[in-house]
């Protein structure tokens, strides 16, 4: 890939007294102690520069960024959005690349970014479960400060998330390093959109029941999986499973917030925007219009994420 030749070697640079420089806007409607966006994406600057060449070289890039209007963002652009929208911390998840080299380089960029913004960004790495190097790459990223694996994209990486023998080594190394698994999810009905795929509730449920002790986050409301928590056996299976709200305005009415809180439990919902696909403030403003107890909104906006991530 041409752009890799232009990407400088990254070095970890820790910031000094960064808290003194923060200029967060206030989110007065909740008075939440912390707001954490659990689902954001960033790419290296060189990837933005050479996107026209890249979209033809990687299936994931082509699916999400072939449209010139699709937005890419760097770490600095994410931090600027956080400052503008009053977000304290963001979880940066990688993408389901087809190339091992692309995975490594983007993992490097995320590790560099969380090192430069240690109190603002939390990183998740990416791998393809079928690669023999997958477990080794996860170990490398764990040593570099990564807290999770994802966003897994079985529909674009073309692997079976429900295949227990395939996923077992990934889960083992994740558990050994106290890492969270975050996977893409898709709805079995409704409109088609770029990257929707076939990661349906049935596949997710098979994955979850194969590894009941793993901590799993199903993106995009789990493709509707939490609605099935009304079934007693499904509700029990979701003990260590959470659902992020990424891209909500493109998928559901905002009524989904109180409905899932009632069906699956308020502790299962993690605020996620899918930035830069959507602004971080858009979902917060939408949530402001929903009739729910303030303490429930606080849990979704940050307290649940603090518990899942083990933050003070």
Look at residue 25 in the predicted model and tell me its pLDDT: 33
Structure tokens at 70: 């699709």
pLDDT of 281 higher than 60: yes
**Crossing angle (nearest 10°) for helices 134-143 and 164-176:** 20
266 burial class (0-12, 13-18, 19+ CB within 10 angstroms)? buried
In this prediction, residue 19 has a pLDDT band, given cuts at 50, 70 and 90, of very low
Report the 10 Å Cβ neighbour count for 129: 20
- How would you label 143-167 residue by residue, b for 16+ Cβ within 10 Å and e otherwise? ebbbbbbbbbbbbbbebebbbeeeb
CA atoms within 13 A on the CB side of 143: 6
How far is residue 169's CA from residue 190's CA, in Å, rounded to a whole number?
34
292 burial class (0-12, 13-18, 19+ CB within 10 angstroms)? middle
Note the pLDDT tens digit of each residue in 98-150.
889 999 999 999 999 999 999 999 999 999 999 999 999 999 999 999 999 99
Look at residue 2 in the predicted model and tell me its pLDDT: 46
Look at residue 33 in the predicted model and tell me its pLDDT: 75
Angstrom CA distances, 166 to 48, 99, 207, 226, stand at: 33, 18, 11, 25
| pTM flag (> 0.75) | yes
H helices of 86-231, in order, are 100-116, 134-143, 154-157, 164-176, 201-210
Note the pLDDT tens digit of each residue in 156-202.
999 999 999 999 999 999 999 999 999 999 999 999 887 788 999 99
Look at residue 50 in the predicted model and tell me its pLDDT: 84
DSSP 28-88: TTT--S--EEEEE----HHHHHTHHHHTTT-HHHHHHHSSTTS----HHHHHHHHHHHT--
Look at residue 26 in the predicted model and tell me its pLDDT: 33
Q: Mean pLDDT for the chain?
A: 89
Architecture of the domain whose range is 32-309: Alpha-Beta Barrel (3.20)
In this prediction, residue 56 has a pLDDT band, given cuts at 50, 70 and 90, of confident
Task: Point out which residues pair with 241 in neighbouring strands.
Answer: 216
Structure tokens at 40: 């954001």
Share of the chain above pLDDT 90, in %: 78
Q: Are 150 and 94 in contact (CB under 8 A)?
A: yes
Contacts of 123 (CB under 8 A, 6+ apart): 91, 92, 110, 111, 113, 114, 141, 144, 145, 146, 147, 148
Least-confidence region, from 41-55, 171-185, 236-250, 283-297: 41-55
**Crossing angle (nearest 10°) for helices 100-116 and 75-85:** 50
Closest of 282, 208, 220, 214 to residue 251, by C-alpha: 220
Structure tokens at 106: 């983007």
């Amino acid at each position: 890939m041409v752009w890799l030749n232009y990407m400088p070697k990254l070095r970890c640079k820790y910031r000094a007294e960064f808290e003194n420089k923060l200029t967060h806007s206030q989110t007065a409607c909740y008075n939440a102690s912390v707001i954490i966006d659990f689902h954001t994406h960033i790419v290296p600057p060189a990837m933005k520069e050479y996107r026209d060449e890249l979209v033809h070289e990687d299936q994931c890039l082509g699916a999400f960024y072939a449209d010139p209007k699709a937005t890419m963002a760097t770490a600095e652009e994410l931090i600027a959005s956080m400052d503008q929208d009053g977000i304290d911390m963001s979880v940066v998840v990688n993408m389901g690349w087809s190339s091992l080299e692309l995975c490594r380089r983007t993992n490097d960029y995320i590790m560099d970014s969380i090192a430069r913004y240690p109190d603002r960004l939390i990183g998740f790495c990416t791998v393809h479960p079928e690669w023999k190097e997958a477990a080794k790459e996860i170990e490398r990223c764990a040593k570099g400060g990564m807290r999770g694996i994802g966003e897994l994209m079985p529909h674009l990486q073309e692997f079976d998330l429900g295949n227990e023998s395939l996923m077992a080594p990934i889960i083992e190394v994740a558990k050994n390093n106290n890492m969270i698994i975050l996977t893409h999810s898709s709805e079995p009905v409704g409109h088609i959109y770029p990257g929707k795929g076939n990661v349906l509730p049935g596949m997710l449920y098979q994955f979850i029941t194969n590894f009941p002790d793993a901590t799993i986050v199903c993106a995009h409301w789990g493709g509707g999986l939490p609605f099935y928590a009304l079934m007693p056996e499904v509700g029990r299976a979701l003990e260590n499973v959470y659902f992020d709200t990424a891209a909500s305005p493109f998928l559901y009415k905002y009524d989904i917030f109180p409905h899932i809180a009632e069906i699956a439990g308020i502790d299962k919902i993690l605020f996620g925007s899918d930035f830069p696909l959507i602004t971080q403030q858009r979902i917060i403003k939408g949530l402001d219009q929903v009739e729910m107890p303030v303490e429930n909104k606080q849990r979704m906006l940050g307290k649940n994420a603090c518990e899942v991530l083990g933050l003070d």
